[in-house]
Amino acid sequence: MKSSTTNSDPTRRTLLFAGACGAVALRVAPAHALSDDEARSLIDAVVNDIHRVINSGMPIQAALKEFENIFVNYADVQAIARSALGPPARTASPRQLRAFTDAFSGYISRKYGKRFREFKGGVIQVTESRKRSRVHEVRAIARLKGREPLAMSFVVSDRSGKTLFIDILIEGISLLKSERVEIGALLDRQGGDVDRLVAALNGTG
């Protein structure tokens, strides 16, 4: 939110005040701290949905749409998108940020949705949940047919006001960190122009 020290317009002041109250409410809301079980049940739900999609045999386009829904419902897409965009997220306009977030969520779903097809016939088993500093880590094992099991971790936070996941690690490799590097490189390629980055992301298969 923009603030102005010399501003005396009552409407904007009111808005500022309302905003401040909202911010305070958000800070106060998670007075009840996220428990291991709550973090785990979020990931149980994610895993159930993933199983449903990968074993449904639905056509790929429909499956990718489903993956996007899972991502939007269970992940803090805004926070992940902001982090992936890096410092330009602070200078981008709200409209740019919204456009980027939408483009990013489609891009992520297409990119990783395709990979989840490798999981067909496999099972993801949630194993444990524990608090790590200010986030929770929910561990799982992905057992794919005829392959050695893969270790997965979902990083869960309720700092947005809702319990959502903010990262997935597979064999220690963080999706969030990978995308920070990838989006950074794509942005460079577009000369640092967020609008062009959005167009490029929308064009990716």
Find the binder of other proteins among 96, 109, 129, 153 (CB under 8 A). Answer: 153
Find the binder of other proteins among 39, 66, 71, 82 (CB under 8 A). Answer: 82
Establish if 171 lies at the interface with other proteins (CB under 8 A): yes
Find the binder of other proteins among 38, 51, 170, 195 (CB under 8 A). Answer: 170
Residue 107 CA: distances (Å) to CA of 113, 126, 168, 187, 205 = 10, 26, 16, 14, 8
Find the binder of other proteins among 151, 162, 199, 202 (CB under 8 A). Answer: 151
Per rule CB under 8 A, count of chain residues that contact other proteins: 45
Closer to other proteins at the Cβ: 13 or 189? 189
Establish if 12 lies at the interface with other proteins (CB under 8 A): no
Find the binder of other proteins among 79, 120, 193, 196 (CB under 8 A). Answer: 79
Closest approach, Cβ 6 to other proteins, in A, equals: 23
* CB-based burial label for 89 (10 Å; 0-12, 13-18, 19+): middle
Q: CB neighbours of 197 closer than 8 A, spacing ≥ 6?
A: 100, 103, 183, 186, 187, 190
Closer to other proteins at the Cβ: 51 or 159? 159
Closest by alpha carbon to 164, among 27, 43, 37? 43
Query: Between residue 172 and residue 201, which ones bind other proteins under the rule CB under 8 A?
Result: 172-174, 176-178, 180-182, 184-186, 188-189
Query: Residue 8: beta bridge partners?
Result: none
Residues near other proteins, by CB under 8 A? 76, 79-80, 82-83, 90, 111, 114-115, 117-118, 132-135, 137, 146-148, 150-151, 153, 155, 157, 159-160, 166-167, 169-174, 176-178, 180-182, 184-186, 188-189
